[in-house]
Structure 1
Amino acid sequence: MQSMTYRRGGGSSRAVSASVVDLIDPAGLMVKRIESLRTHAWEVELAAHGIDSASLNASSVQLEATCADLNVLDVASELFDADVKAVASSRSKDDAGLLTVDGWSQTALITGIEPSYDPPGPAKYALTVALLDGLWHKRDDVQHFWSDALQPGLDLDYPHDYPHDYMPTTRNASVVNDAVSPMPFELVVYGPVSQPAIIIGVNRYELHMDIPSGSYVTVNSVEGQRSIVMTAENGDTTNVFDKGERGSGINGGSYIFQPLPAGKHQVQWNGFGFDLTVIQERSTPSWWT
């Protein structure tokens, strides 16, 4: 484990000065082992000769820790409490914090601190952590797909007046998902473009809207976090969730939130530019952390 942090939730009180708590700081809070974060069990519904469903639900675990500076613990405790209150008030997971272990993240709350030893010497205690997503996520590198304006030569005309022209050059672009199963993604589509559509594998990802020059639309397909938001040139945001094509739903061939299939798949689009980020999902942080 190289890094472990708790990031303040969006609904926390602005009076709380800290925004990120380092959880493996030898001079402050120090969590030394994370076996409890790796402990998991799928909730399965058995069928006659298999299972009807499987899910990883929210859970509560404990982390043993020490703290060499009680001022750090005081500030962190205020942050933890503020996030719990915010979620209890709003009933929204969006106000919770984010626990990150070597790049693997999950929405979380620190719901309890149980001391077992007070000074002199570093304080010892147990943190009770509510893991709210069930799954851990990590973003892969962004895959860029440029607009035609940034790819000269795609639509060269034949230099003589024949009744036919050459077809546009094939981009030969592919999306890569290195995981062994389909994964969610973040898609950013840049304007100007009208009714943008992207075909990856056998699925069509389409937005029924115009995106002006200087604006972009971000699609997040993570279960429980799904959103479609347009950001204007001046930074203003607009919820355009209803503009994504749903078709007949997952595996129907035209679904805006269709998970990206594993492997390498050809991409087809026309004119505009976009970025795509595969978001890896695991039941635990990587065992190599």
Structure 2
Amino acid sequence: HGNAKTDDELEMAVKAGVGTIVIDNFDDIDRLERIVKGEQAVLVRIIPGVLPDTHLANATGQDDSKFGLSISDARVAIERLKASKKLRLDGLHLHLGSQIMSTQPFIQSIEAIASLGEFSVYDLGGGLGVRYTYKDSPPSIEEYLDALIATARKYLPSTAKILIEPGRSMVADAAVTLYRVVTIKRSLRTFVAIDGGMADNLEVSLYGQRFEATVANRVGGGELYSLVGRHCESGDILIDGVRLQDPKVGDIIAVPVTGAYCLTMANNYNGARRPPVVFCLDGLARAVVRRETYEDLLSRDLN
């Protein structure tokens, strides 16, 4: 995968025996033709020309996407790969984006690629949305799969292998992020400042993603507050207008549904140390990733 795979990365993939490499552009073909010695299975990533109803930064299947090839360019790539003696074209790949709250875009994308011919493999990507807030209403897993299967049966070969890439929808609700209240400031609005923020949750700043929160031992209700981070950005607002029940300095604030892209995009902005990860099950807890230290932050510096 990737829209800018380097020679080193492709060489590593081929050497490791990666089963399938996704062709994103014509340069991928050029590089693989040079690197591959035997035979390498590939898929071609298609831009289906479908813009789902999600944040633009989360959309990857629209006509001006940086990922994949347009339908017309894909036809050229397909013919070139069919003639290749090193690259075996197994099928097509697409990915519409992330946090998609309707099945219709998935249906449209399958319809769009059906005109490119019949293949043995179709990777339909992922993108199914999850319920971050009380108002969110994404399709169920069953509704999502029913839509994909029905459309694939209508437009794709009956013998084809259908792949999907569930990500956010599998892991988002597996995690809760815990913060401690550092200070409370009352002015034109009341700020509840915590010991984290955009260094451990970039989804708000990048995608405008809305979350819910609660005081851990006083769940639900309360007045409206601005839950803000500790970083030197006015935009470091984790949740603006969230109801918290009488928050106090030292309280633990729980923010659920943070399992998908929070830890993976965590960073060291302002010298922030990335948080630990603790697995919990049946009343037992164990740390699986330790908290970063200041020594960790300095470990890559050279004298």
Q: TM-score, normalised by structure 1?
A: 0.25
**Scaled by the length of structure 2, what TM-score is found?**
0.24
Greater relative contact order structure (CA < 8 Å, 6+ sep): 1
More strand by proportion, 1 or 2? 1
Q: Considering fraction of residues, name the structure with more helix.
A: 2
